[in-house]
């Protein structure tokens, strides 16, 4: 036994240099940490957000950066998993020492990293997550530019009567995003006199929904409200058609990429409704059409999938928001950036980005009020519905 | 044949009663009945496929017999697991060499001493001094056991590195370490050279001298006739003869079974 | 000299928080340490009893979940109409609860799974971990499902005024080291005793082991209970360190990581899982430092595993021992005993 | 509305639902059986627990994707090619990794297969990224409708091809010379070798055949669902469950096991909880283990 311990020490000695020789990055650039799901269940969306963020990075650096320094994104893959998300934040704050973060796409991932933000005192701009809990939990390091499910449901309200919804069934992922959205929509629909039928859940990684769809069919509602990302939505639309589920499908949460649905679900996408937070088919309806145009042109120039436009803008806006804060703070330090975020005014694709206070007094989180759009697919084309 | 074998004799250590084993349609043993008395060396012989090893497997719980009973010290062994049977004092060796190949010779015997040891999981985890004391005693005992079979010089070699004959000796040492009152030896001398066989016969006698009853399955007639007090002859699952070595050697049915019909007639 | 090496090594490890100021390196050392504890426990099954148990992460995860749930408190329907409500418990108590839960599960699964051996056992052990993962994923009321158990409190010991908080990394590191040393000592005691010999006997030759009276199933269950309790302790440490637990903790890939650590280091040797754990705990960071994508890192793992089986089938520690002419068997304290015994007789 | 009419309506509705679940299960069962047979053959003949099975399945799906989507190869041609490449991949794995380990114990080969599995899955991830891809199919988008039941043409096609492949495997195993060598090896490898069966060739052929079936399953199901690098994990875990259910090494067992699993999943998720869909297989395994540890169709193994 004793002899073997000698081996261990020797092994350590061999590996120690490898461990301690972590590469020192470019000193002069301001680092911005990004935690996105580049693999796993939300990989498509996470990659689009990362692509959007990189467009913003290049655009800002081409214009001379900020405070005379370039910015450098350090993008870590949180693998669509909350524990991995925590370890990306650990790495970004402790090893790369970034003063500010953007992430982490899904509500569950964002909620997972929030205690770490408080522990290390680093602010984070939330670009996608919709769960109400994020801004009401009393975490003063959270600044969300995306809308909450409640905002989205409220924006949807006028359409209940217009579409003639009588009885709605629900199908959503069993995570914070799905459950939060399902609850807010159900509340709003009930308040508007709509009967709520079955509420079916699914694992974010599931691919076969035949059992849920059979139940929904048996429930006999006229509308199905679905909350999930585009991957599962594609499969749900296809399988609903196979099972002859002839109801009005409305997808919420804004991660539905109608273009990708048209491409991948084909005819099954026709007659479906989607809430989006940026409509690239008619950018003129947004508050800052010139910003949207610039982003879209660059996206297409880079050959990115046009289906990702509705997702990539989140990353684009997120980075511009962070850079605005850096400019206002005059230095790239966490506490200064946190203070500066309260005052930013950014002309973004989400609309005019600014933060209002949400959550318990003294520990408020920042929340932006973006615009929400409803679109529908007919004959493989996206058209606008008044909201 | 001896008709008075229906009930176990009071001094029989092991008594096998009407034991039958069938695999599907194949009968390995048909109604086998025999005794081994305390202090005896009994040999089970018979041609290949006569059911000798199956009998061992049934006695030691490796095989569930179709019918019949196996009684040891007048208690049935049926339904007990192999390790429980060993704990009662019935220990066997195996036909193929059977040692813990990856461990040292000493470790092998220590493993055999399992039943001797009284350490409990809790005392082990707490690291009580009684455990360390017992470990020293066990090592002494293991060395003594190795001395008995003559393997002390090999104590720190890997069991798999021993020559064949010594592996067989080690197999016996492991079995003896379990402190049996009945030892079942399955073809212990097969594959040994004449000198080794002779010394093994001596070992068998020395084991008996330790008040251990032995049941031997063996093909080597010289060994069988040399050490046995009694020989039981099996043929096609049936017992055809049970008696002293000399008696068995003269039995015409045995000669017929071993050497064939023609030889038996010519011999008469 | 060599007698004091283990103690010096532990002292050296204990001194790390005194001079290491880089939090990220401490973080890596902590997670590596936790995985080494889990790998040591797996080695008891894999190396000593010889059972390829591929569901080991289940005990790690059960320890983590049970400890997290006890410390957070919960309210869940165990059966229809039977609501169980548990108020938050102190973390030390929760951790002991996590260890006990893992041990109880180890007992139950040992009783069940060891009815079969070989390939059946392997698949059954994998299935067990999968079932636990799916329960963690779908029993949302209890486990929060894919939303993860968040905000798990860190360990605090002592009364107000004199309180040790294990929130900061140096303290967590010391705690992990202490648990690792304790686990090592327990495992060493076990494998160098009657119980350990019974386990090894079963691995080497099961029929021969039974023939000398070893109750093979009882020792398999004992090994599983001890291994799962230690894995549960590792899981509990993990839960209160990263302070979040989600169902992916039960993924097969984590069992595979432990298996690679044990097999590469040398299964059935006490130092094997430590060497393997240090190697595979630090290797990912080294590869990351060389800017390798994680996929390449995993491909390297896979290839390495194949190569180890081909070229170092018994692992690093036995290979080095052979090279240096010091086999574990002869290096064991038994040798001294034998010498003493011979002197006495 | 009269109360009676409502009652009858509901009952009809639930009967429709039950029939739809049944139909879904039968369609699903075909592909499950296909996956299970490949795995059970490899285990039965080679005594190797094939952890790469799921990756070969994913490989089949990716070949299908690569051929149909960017390259525009005909759907049916691509299907045949995917299966053929799966056979080649299987043969390559066997020759490269297993042929040298023929006398190794089951744990050793298992570790090698786990290593190969990790390497393969991450190679797929590296080559295709973690983003899901979908494959277009040439079938009419309107499902085939029969009363209240409906099934898509694509799934019907999958079921038909899977059935054909299962029947083909039966024929191969039971009525051909190759099958005879297979069965001989299965019963007693040493005797088979003595009787002139080239064990090494039987091994390679078995692994290739099993892998071909897995690749075919992947190529068939890729267009039904989506193609992701981790798709093989779920497939492999289902295949393991099926094979344990049926008894390791039994082709009939794997077929029946495939359908049992499909019914358990479909009915379980329809009437108990959809979340536990993937748990059904494992729950079945544990139940089987309690009642009959060696599976439903276990072949008698002699303990020596």
pLDDT score of B261:
52
Provide the shortest C-alpha distance from residue B177 to chain C (in Å).
8
Q: Render pLDDT for D66-94 as a digit per residue (tens, 0 to 9).
A: 999 888 899 999 999 999 999 999 999 99
Domain count, chain D: 1
One domain for residues A68 and A166: no
Percent of chain C past pLDDT 90, that is, above it, reads 44
Query: Which residue(s) pair with D203 in the sheet?
Result: none
Q: Based on the domain organization, do A330 and A257 belong to the same domain? A: no
Identify the band that residue C226 occupies on the pLDDT scale cut at 50, 70 and 90. Answer: very high
Instruction: State whether the Cα torsion D138-D141-D142-D146 is positive or negative.
Output: positive
Say yes or no: A81 and A176 in one domain.
no
If you average pLDDT over residues D228-252, what whole number do you get? Answer: 85
Instruction: List the one residue out of A149, A155, A113 whose CA is nearest residue A132.
Output: A149
A112 domain residue, yes or no: yes
- For D234, phi then psi, to 5°, come to -65, -45
pTM for this structure?
A: 0.86
The average pLDDT across C220-248 equals: 94
- Backbone torsion region of residue A30, taken as left when φ is above 0, otherwise alpha when ψ lies between -120 and 50, otherwise beta: beta
pLDDT tens digits, one per residue of C119-164: 778 888 888 898 899 889 888 889 888 888 888 998 888 766 677 7
- pLDDT band at D145; cut points 50, 70, 90: confident
Output the pLDDT for position D276: 73
State the CATH class of domain B12-98+177-267.
alpha beta
End-to-end CA distance of chain D: 72
Flag whether residue C306 sits within 8 Å of chain D, measured between CB atoms.
Answer: yes
Residue scoring higher pLDDT (A264 or D205): D205
Instruction: Work out the minimum CA distance from C183 to partner chain B, whole angstroms.
Output: 10
C-alpha triplet B213, B216, B218: angle, nearest 5° = 165
Q: Which two tokens stand for residue D249?
A: 């090494």
Secondary structure (H, E, C), chain C: CHHHHHHHHHHHHHHHHHHCCCHHHHHHHHHHHHHHHHHHHHHHHHHHHCCCCCCCHHHHHHHHHHHHHHHHCEEEEEECCEEEEECCCCHHHHHHHHHHHHHHHHHHHHHHHCCCCHHHHHHHHHHHHHHHHHHHHHCHHHHCHHHCEECCCCCEECCCCCCEECCCHHHHHHHHHHHHHHHHHHHHHHHCCHHHHHHHHHHHCHHHHHHCCCCHHHHHHHHHHHHHHHHHHHHHHHHHHHCEECHHHHCHHHHHHHHHHHHHHCCCCCCHHHHHHHHHHHHHHHHHHCCCCHHHHHHHHHHHHHHHHHHCCCCHHHHHHHHCCCCHHHHCCHHHHHHHHHHHC
Report whether pLDDT(B232) > 80: yes
The mean pLDDT value for B137-158 works out to 93
Contacts of C259 in chain D (CB under 8 A): 111, 114
Looking at residue D297, its pLDDT comes to 67
Q: Which of C25, C137, C249 sits opposite A83 (nearest CB)?
A: C249
CATH number where A342 lies: 3.40.50.2300
DSSP A220: T
Distance CA A75, CA A49 (A): 11
Residue D269 within a domain: no
The encoded tokens of residue D245 equal 């259910």
Domain encompassing residue D50: 29-140+148-228
Helix/strand/coil for B249:
helix
Q: A81 vs C2: CB contact, 8 Å cut-off? A: no
Cβ separation D114–C305 shorter than 8 A: yes
Taking the CA of residue B7 as centre, how many other CA atoms within 13 Å lie in the half-sphere pointing to its CB?
Answer: 1
Q: Kindly report the nearest CA distance between residue C111 and chain A, in angstroms.
A: 32
- D292: its two tokens: 């009959």
- Tens-digit pLDDT profile for residues A328-387: 999 999 999 999 999 999 999 999 999 999 999 999 999 999 989 999 999 989 998 865
Residue B98's alpha-carbon distances to C81, C147, D34, D106, in angstroms, are: 57, 54, 42, 21
What mean pLDDT value characterizes chain B? 87
pLDDT (tens digit per residue) in B14-70: 999 999 988 877 788 888 888 899 989 999 988 777 788 888 999 999 988 999 999
Q: Is residue A10 part of a domain?
A: no
In this structure, is residue D91 part of a structural domain? Answer: yes
User: Does D293 have pLDDT greater than 80?
Assistant: no
Percent of chain D scored above 70 by pLDDT?
91
Interface confidence: ipTM more than 0.85: no
Residue C280 has pLDDT above 90, yes or no: no
- Nearest by Cα to B30 from B255, B217, B219, B240: B240
With 80 as the cut, is the pLDDT of residue A326 above it?
A: yes
In sequence order, the 6+-apart residues with CB closer than 8 A to the CB of B133 are: none
The predicted model gives A263-283 an average pLDDT of: 90
Which residues lie closer than 8 Å to A115 by C-beta, 6 or more apart?
Answer: C150, C151, C243, C244
Q: Do A201 and D269 touch (CB under 8 A)?
A: no
D26 touches chain A (CB under 8 A): no
What is the structure's pLDDT at B81?
92
CA atoms within 13 A on the CB side of C111: 6
- When pLDDT is averaged across residues D221-227 and rounded to a whole number, the result is 89
| Biggest distance spanned by C-alpha atoms of chain A | 80
Q: State chain D's mean pLDDT as an integer.
A: 85
Same domain, A110 and A167: no
Strands C244-245 and C149-150, bridge-based pairing: antiparallel
Residue A82: which of C246, C291, C326 has the nearest Cβ? C246
- Which tops the pLDDT comparison, D137 or A55? A55
Residues A78 and A65 placed together within one structural domain of the fold: yes
Q: Distance between the two ends of chain C, CA-based, in angstroms?
A: 30
Task: Calculate mean pLDDT across residues A181-188.
Answer: 93
Q: Percentage of residues in chain B with pLDDT exceeding 90?
A: 51
Same domain, A211 and A258: yes
Q: Where are the domains of chain B?
A: 12-98+177-267, 100-161
Residues 6+ apart with CB under 8 A from D300: none
| CB of D184 closer than 8 Å to CB of D197 | yes
For the beta carbon of residue C145, count every other beta carbon within 10 angstroms. Answer: 26
Q: What is the pLDDT of residue B9?
A: 54
Rounded to the nearest angstrom, the minimum Cα separation between A312 and chain D is 15
CA gap A9, A45 in Å, rounded: 45
Whether D293 is in a domain gets the answer: no
| C-alpha to C-alpha distances, B223 to B193, B196, B231, nearest whole angstrom | 12, 11, 12
**A14 interfacial to chain C (CB closer than 8 Å):** no
Of A217, A241, A243, the CB nearest to D141: A241
Do A324 and A344 meet the contact criterion of CB atoms below 8 Å apart?
A: yes
The structural domain count of chain A equals 2
Same domain, A98 and A196: no
Q: Indicate if A119 and A167 belong to the same structural domain.
A: no
- Residue D298: predicted pLDDT: 58
Interaxial angle between packed helices C57-72 and C91-113, expressed in degrees from 0 to 180 and rounded to the nearest 10: 150
Q: Does A93 lie in the same domain as A173?
A: no
In this structure, the answer to whether residues A141 and A216 fall within a common structural domain is no
In terms of residue numbers, what domain contains A246? Answer: 151-276
Split at pLDDT 50, 70, 90, the class of B259 is: low
SS3 D193: helix
Of the pLDDT bands very low, low, confident and very high (cuts 50, 70, 90), residue B264 is very low
């Amino acid at each position: 036994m004793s002899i073997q311990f000698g081996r261990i020490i020797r092994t350590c000695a061999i590996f120690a240099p490898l461990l301690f020789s972590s590469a020192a990055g470019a000193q002069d650039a301001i680092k911005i940490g990004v935690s996105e799901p580049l693999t796993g269940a939300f990989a498509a969306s996470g990659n689009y957000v990362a692509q959007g963020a990189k467009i913003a990075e290049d655009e800002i650096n081409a214009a001379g950066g900020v405070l005379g320094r370039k910015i450098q994104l350090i993008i870590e893959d949180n693998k669509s998993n909350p524990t991995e998300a925590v370890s990306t934040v650990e790495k970004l704050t402790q090893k790369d020492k970034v003063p500010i973060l953007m992430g982490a796409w899904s509500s569950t991932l964002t909620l997972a990293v929030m205690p770490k933000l408080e522990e290390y005192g680093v602010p984070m701009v939330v670009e996608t997550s919709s769960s109400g809990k994020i801004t009401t939990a009393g975490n003063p390091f959270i600044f969300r530019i995306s809308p909450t499910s409640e905002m989205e449901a409220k924006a949807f309200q006028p359409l209940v009567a217009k579409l003639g919804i009588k009885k709605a069934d629900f199908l959503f992922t069993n995570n914070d995003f799905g459950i939060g959205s399902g609850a807010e929509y159900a509340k709003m629909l009930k308040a508007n006199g709509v009967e709520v039928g079955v509420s079916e859940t699914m694992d974010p990684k599931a691919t076969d929904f035949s059992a849920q769809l059979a139940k929904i069919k048996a429930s006999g509602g006229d509308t199905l409200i679905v909350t999930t990302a585009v991957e599962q939505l594609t499969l749900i639309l296809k399988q609903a058609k196979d099972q002859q589920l002839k109801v009005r499908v409305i997808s919420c949460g804004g991660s539905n990429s109608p273009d990708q649905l048209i491409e991948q679900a084909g005819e099954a996408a026709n007659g479906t409704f989607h809430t989006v937070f940026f409509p690239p088919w008619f950018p003129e309806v947004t508050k800052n059409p010139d910003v949207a145009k610039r982003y879209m042109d660059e996206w297409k120039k880079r050959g990115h999938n046009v289906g990702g436009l509705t997702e990539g803008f989140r990353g684009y806006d997120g980075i511009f928001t962070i850079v605005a804060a850096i400019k206002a703070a005059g230095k790239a330090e966490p506490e200064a950036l946190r203070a500066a975020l309260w005052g930013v005014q950014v002309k973004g694709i989400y609309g005019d980005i600014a933060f209002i206070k949400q959550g318990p007094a003294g520990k408020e989180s920042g929340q932006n009020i973006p615009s929400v759009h409803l679109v529908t697919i007919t004959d493989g084309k996206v058209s606008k519905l008044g909201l | 044949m001896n008709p008075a074998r229906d009930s176990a004799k009071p001094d029989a250590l092991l008594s096998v009663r009407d034991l039958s084993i069938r695999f599907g349609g194949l009968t390995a043993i048909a109604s086998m009945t025999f005794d081994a008395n305390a202090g005896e060396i009994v040999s089970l012989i018979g041609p290949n496929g006569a059911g000798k090893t199956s009998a061992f497997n049934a006695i030691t719980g490796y095989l569930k017999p179709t019918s019949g009973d196996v009684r040891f010290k007048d208690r049935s062994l049926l339904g007990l697991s192999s390790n429980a049977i060993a704990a009662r004092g019935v220990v066997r060796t195996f036909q193929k060499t059977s040692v813990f190949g990856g461990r040292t010779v000493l470790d092998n015997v220590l493993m055999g001493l399992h039943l001797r040891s009284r350490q409990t999981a809790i005392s082990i985890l707490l690291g009580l001094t009684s455990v360390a004391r017992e470990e020293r005693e066990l090592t002494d005992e293991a060395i003594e056991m190795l001395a008995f079979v003559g393997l002390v010089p090999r104590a720190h070699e890997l069991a798999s590195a021993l020559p064949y004959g010594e592996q067989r000796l080690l197999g016996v040492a492991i079995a003896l370490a379990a402190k049996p009152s009945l030892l079942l030896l399955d073809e212990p001398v097969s594959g040994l050279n004449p000198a080794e066989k002779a010394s093994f016969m001596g070992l068998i006698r020395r084991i008996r001298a330790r008040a251990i009853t032995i049941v031997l399955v063996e093909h080597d007639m010289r060994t069988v006739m040399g050490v046995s007090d009694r020989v039981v002859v099996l043929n096609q699952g049936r017992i055809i003869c049970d008696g002293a070595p000399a008696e068995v050697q003269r039995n015409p049915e045995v000669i017929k079974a071993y050497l064939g019909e023609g030889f038996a007639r010519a011999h008469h | 000299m060599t007698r004091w090496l283990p103690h010096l090594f532990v002292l050296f490890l204990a001194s790390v928080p005194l001079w290491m100021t880089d939090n990220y390196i401490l973080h890596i050392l902590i997670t590596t340490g936790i995985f080494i504890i889990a790998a040591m426990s797996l080695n008891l099954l894999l190396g000593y009893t010889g059972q390829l148990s591929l569901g080991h992460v289940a005990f790690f995860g059960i320890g983590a979940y049970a400890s997290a749930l006890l410390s957070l408190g919960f309210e869940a329907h165990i059966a229809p109409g039977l609501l169980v409500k548990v108020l938050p418990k102190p973390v030390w108590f929760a951790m002991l609860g996590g260890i006990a839960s893992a041990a109880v599960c180890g007992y139950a699964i040992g009783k069940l799974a060891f009815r079969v051996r070989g390939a059946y056992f392997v698949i059954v052990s994998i299935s067990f971990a999968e079932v636990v993962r799916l329960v963690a994923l779908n029993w949302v009321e209890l486990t929060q499902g894919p939303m993860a158990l968040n905000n798990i409190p860190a360990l605090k010991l002592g009364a107000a005024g004199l309180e040790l908080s294990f929130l900061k990394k140096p303290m967590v590191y010391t705690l992990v080291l202490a648990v690792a040393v304790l686990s090592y000592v327990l495992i060493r005691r076990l494998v160098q005793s009657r119980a350990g010999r019974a386990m090894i006997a079963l691995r080497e030759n099961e029929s021969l082991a039974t023939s000398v009276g070893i109750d093979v199933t009882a020792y398999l269950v004992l090994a599983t209970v001890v291994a799962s309790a230690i894995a549960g302790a590792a899981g509990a440490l993990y839960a209160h360190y990263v302070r979040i637990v989600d169902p992916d903790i039960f993924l097969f890939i984590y069992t595979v990581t432990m298996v690679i650590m044990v097999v590469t280091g040398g299964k059935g040797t006490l130092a094997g899982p430590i060497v393997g754990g240090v190697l595979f705990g630090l290797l990912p960071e080294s590869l990351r430092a060389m800017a390798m994508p994680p996929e390449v890192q995993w491909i390297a793992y896979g290839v390495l595993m194949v190569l180890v089986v081909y070229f170092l089938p018994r692992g690093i520690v036995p290979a080095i021992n052979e090279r240096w002419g010091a086999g574990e068997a002869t290096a064991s304290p038994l040798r001294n005993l034998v010498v003493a015994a011979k002197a006495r007789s | 509305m009269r109360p009676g009419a409502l009652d009858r309506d509901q009952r009809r509705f639930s009967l429709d639902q039950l029939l739809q679940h049944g139909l879904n299960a039968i369609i699903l069962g075909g592909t499950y059986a296909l996956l299970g047979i490949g795995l059970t053959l490899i285990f039965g003949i080679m005594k190797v627990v094939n952890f790469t099975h799921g990756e070969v399945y994913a490989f089949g799906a990716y070949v299908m994707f690569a051929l149909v989507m960017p390259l525009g190869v005909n759907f049916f041609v691509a299907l045949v090619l995917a299966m053929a490449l799966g056979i080649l991949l299987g043969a390559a794995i066997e020759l490269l990794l297993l042929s040298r380990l023929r006398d190794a114990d089951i744990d050793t080969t298992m570790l090698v297969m786990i290593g190969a599995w990790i390497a393969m899955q991450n190679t797929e991830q590296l080559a295709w990224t973690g983003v899901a891809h979908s494959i277009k199919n040439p079938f009419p988008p309107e499902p085939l409708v029969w009363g209240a039941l409906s099934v898509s043409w694509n799934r019907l096609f999958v079921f038909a091809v899977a059935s054909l492949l299962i029947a083909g495997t039966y024929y191969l195993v039971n009525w051909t010379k190759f099958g005879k060598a297979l069965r001989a090896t299965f019963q007693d490898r040493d005797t088979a070798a003595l009787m002139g069966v080239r064990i090494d060739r039987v091994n390679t052929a078995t692994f290739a055949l099993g892998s071909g079936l897995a690749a075919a399953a992947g190529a068939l199901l890729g267009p039904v669902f989506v193609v992701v690098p981790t798709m093989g994990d779920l497939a492999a875990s289902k295949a393991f469950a099926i094979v344990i259910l049926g008894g390791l090494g039994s082709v009939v067992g794997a077929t029946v096991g495939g359908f049992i699993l499909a019914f358990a999943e479909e009915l379980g998720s329809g009437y108990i909880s959809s979340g536990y869909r993937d748990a059904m297989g494992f729950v079945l395994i544990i139940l089987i283990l309690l009642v009959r540890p060696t599976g439903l169709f276990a072949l008698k193994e002699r303990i020596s």
